Structure 1
Amino acid sequence: MEIVNQNIEQYIDDHATAEDQVLQKLDRETHLKVALPDMISGHVQGLLLTAITNMMKPKRILEIGTFTGYSGICLAKGLAPDGKLVSLEKDDELEEIIDKYFTDAGLRDKLELHFGNAVEIIPTLTEKFDLVFIDADKKNYCKYFDLVIDMVNPGGFIIADNVLWKGKVANEKAQDKDTQSIRDYNRKVQDDPRVTNFILPVRDGLMIAQKLQ
């Protein structure tokens, strides 16, 4: 199911600031060499992530799900001068491509990269974060929220990707496990009094939750 028809998506893409060369090359290499390349954030969503961090100038970002590094680069562009992106990825075979493109983007010194199970890694982190970006296995979205909520500074944000799940969340006939996991996450955030939240229908949907003071 298309959330936005392809003609509108192309129009949006055509009327957005052009993708920089590093991200173009990363997108191309991801599609040539990596399984499930559509997991990459992509042009317009990447611009949105950079706009958010440019407005926030966060000192610490936690990214759950690095993939090949596209979203991480976009997030890191808006870090404060002394800022850092802590990014978690389960597939260590992606390390070479992540390192290559963060280096090409001039952001490698901003990246602290961990490989392994995010559910196990997150409790070992001792920092507080201004922004958390969740884009990993859908079955653990609720668990990730529970793990990070107390690590987010008051006024900080938790942004989760794919929360419309190609429109399946609004289709009562869709009862597969990933769809139900996303529904559970959206409901969990909606019901949590510690945050204010809304869904932004960009690409596959972003749930944006701000932790209250």
Structure 2
Amino acid sequence: MGSDLNITKHLQDYILKNGLKLHPIQKEIIDYNLSLGDSKRMQISISQCQFLHLIIKVSKIKKVLEIGTFTGLSTLSMALALPEEGCIIALDKNEETNKIAQKFFKKANQDHKIKTIIKPALESLMSIRNEKFDLVFIDADKMNYQKYYEISLDLLNKEGLVIIDNVLWHGEVVNKDINDKYTKSIRDLNNFISKDKRIEKVMVPFGDGMTVCRVL
């Protein structure tokens, strides 16, 4: 039986060198995030940027909901892949990081595709409950992941996609000795999704792990 390759730093650099090239403003966001200390871990990986770009292109996605924006790397990665008439509604509760993200969106000439809502995500989701999306990307507070997932299914167009970040949680989901509330929350979500008959799904080891769900 074949197994996944162990990705070393050297091999990761090779993959990124030979993959989809980053937009200059994506690079600026990454450089900015490096100055943030521990909070830089909230950024998605470059491989995830590339994956989101490809998913949007091949699925011909036009309308995206993002739950959790941080400084805007994932948002911009998706906006760049959208057609000119495409749009993203980006939810985040942090006004300061959102201001920074909006500056990057404008600098990349993608701000016309992006509408931000600055509130706790569950409140924002209630305010857009009558809208429909082709893709929902979840990357926010982990304790509410299952709530976001359930609401997202109701907001999707037929055969729409939900993509959830951090599903491998630094590898801690498989460590039986780690049982903090965040790890348990991710484990519970993964178990729930694995049994959910409403969708078909695949878990991919990009970044901190992503689960892609397609509504049946």
The corresponding residue for 2:165 is 161
Give the aligned CA root-mean-square deviation in angstroms: 1.5
For normalisation by structure 1, the TM-score amounts to 0.93
Residue 126 of structure 2 is aligned to residue 123 of structure 1: yes
- Partners of 1:211 and 1:35 lie apart in 2 by 35
Q: Is the 8 A contact 1:53 1:77 kept in 2?
A: no
Q: Is the 8 A contact 1:50 1:77 kept in 2?
A: yes
Aligned length: 210
Residue 15 of structure 2 is aligned to residue 32 of structure 1: no
Residue 147 of structure 2 is aligned to residue 143 of structure 1: yes
Residue 187 of structure 2 is aligned to residue 183 of structure 1: yes
- Partners of 1:35 and 1:65 lie apart in 2 by 17
Q: Is the 8 A contact 2:76 2:110 kept in 1?
A: yes
SS of 1:41's equivalent in the other structure is: coil
For normalisation by structure 2, the TM-score amounts to 0.91
Aligned to 1:96, which of 94, 99, 124?
A: 99
Identity %: 34
**1:51 Cα deviation from its structure 2 partner:** 0.8
Give unpaired runs (5+ residues) of structure 1: none
The corresponding residue for 2:66 is 63
Aligned to 2:19, which of 16, 19, 22?
A: 16
- Partners of 1:199 and 1:172 lie apart in 2 by 20
- Pair 1:73–1:172, CA change in 2 (3 A): same
**1:183 Cα deviation from its structure 2 partner:** 0.8
SS of 2:214's equivalent in the other structure is: strand
- Partners of 2:20 and 2:57 lie apart in 1 by 15
- Partners of 2:151 and 2:78 lie apart in 1 by 21
Per-residue CA distance 1:50-93 (angstroms, 9 max, x = gap): 11111122221000000000000111122233221000011001
- Partners of 2:184 and 2:11 lie apart in 1 by 28
SS of 1:136's equivalent in the other structure is: coil
The residue type paired with residue 202 of structure 2 is F
Deviation larger for 6-15 or 131-140 = 6-15
The corresponding residue for 1:41 is 44
**1:35 Cα deviation from its structure 2 partner:** 5.4
**1:178 Cα deviation from its structure 2 partner:** 0.8
Give unpaired runs (5+ residues) of structure 2: 1-5
